[in-house]
Amino acid sequence: MKTSRKITVEVPLGLLQKAQRATGSGITQTVRTGLGLVAGSQAYARLRQLRGKVRFSLTPARLKADR
């Protein structure tokens, strides 16, 4: 089973340069970082849907005291 896959993609040069400046990495790592962010966005969306619906049994004061 392969753990990675080689792909060829065409991206706008300006977009790639902006992304590389933001990550401070080369092309491969920049693409991997971007794909990871896209994949993780679904999990963040599910978490946002839970906002205000989860009840915690600990108070903020108790959490702070537990440090």
Reading the block at residue 13, the tokens are 């040069």
| Reported confidence tier of residue 31, pLDDT bands at 50, 70, 90 | very high
Task: Report the 10 Å Cβ neighbour count for 40.
Answer: 10
Q: Is the pLDDT of residue 1 over 70?
A: no
Distance CA 27, CA 32 (A): 9
15 vs 67: which has the higher pLDDT: 15
pLDDT at 50: 87
Reading the block at residue 65, the tokens are 């005291």
pLDDT at 26: 97
Q: Is the pLDDT of residue 66 over 80?
A: no
Is there a contact between 16 and 27 (Cβ–Cβ < 8 Å)?
yes
State how far Cα 32 lies from the chain centre.
Answer: 11
pTM score of the predicted model:
0.64
Percentage of residues in the chain with pLDDT exceeding 70?
Answer: 99
